[in-house]
Amino acid sequence: MTFTPAQMAATLDSTNLRLDATAADIDQLCREAAVHRFACVMIYPASVPLAARILAGTGLKIGTVIGFPSGRFSTDAKAAEITAAHRAGAHEVDIVMNYPALLEGRAAEVASEVAALTRLAHGNGQLIKVIVETCFLDDARKLAALKICEDAGANFIKTSTGFGTAGAKVADIAAWAAARKTSIALKASGGIKTLADARALIAAGATRLGTSNAAAILAELSGTGAPTNATGSY
């Protein structure tokens, strides 16, 4: 699969969710993203106002995480985060599904939450990606999570937070691509470090990739950098 640097950049959510990230790190992430025209920057909610100031006038999208990384928050708490993120300038929200409830057989509860949060985000004009943490789900529950996201009208279903026991798997993206009944898009995240990783996941059906190595992947594609050995989890 052949991509121009611009085409590859448009698939990448350039991410900094490190626990020790500083304002200077977020500044660098945003300025780098504006140059390369990544799909968005993905940062913690508290960093959204800073990113909004840095990226004002660039047209670059700002994404943030909700209920992160466990998903074990009340629906009201997640809704409050979405609303606050919207007011601060976030265009996209990556919401962690309450996958522990799914594991416990409370699928109807999970579906109700995802539907409510999707309605809220869409009412704000925000794009919503639902993180289901595939490393903790068996194949049947991965497909159940897909159906929940499709029924809710979410824009994306997303593999991972980057804080679980494993990240994005080609097989999971391929299974979702084959099983989906709607136009829901697929985001792979977690452990995407090289151009080969990116290409394999896109070939399987992903149209967004969340990675803390976006610039390195683009440099590898452009021939200006070697394959990265970065150790970031996301």
59-62-68 Cα angle (round to 5): 170
Catalytic residue among 13, 94, 172, 197: 94
Residue 91 CA, distance from chain mean position: 13
Q: Are 163 and 193 in contact (CB under 8 A)?
A: no
**Exposure b/e, 104-134, CB count within 10 A at least 16 = b:** eeebeebbebbbebbebbeebebbbbbbbbb
Residue position matching structure tokens 């970065």: 230
SS3 of residue 188 by DSSP:
strand
Q: Is 61 an annotated catalytic residue?
A: no
Residue in 142, 187, 193, 197 annotated catalytic = 187
Active site residue 151: no
φ/ψ (deg, to 5) at 65: -105, 145
Q: Is 147 an active-site residue? A: no
Q: Rounded to whole angstroms, what are the CA distances from 89 to 118, 126, 129?
A: 18, 10, 17
Which residue(s) pair with 185 in the sheet? 156
From the candidates 61, 142, 158, 193, give the one annotated as an active-site residue. Answer: 158
Describe the chain by its helix, strand, coil percentages, rounded to 5. 50, 15, 35
Catalytic residues: 94, 158, 187
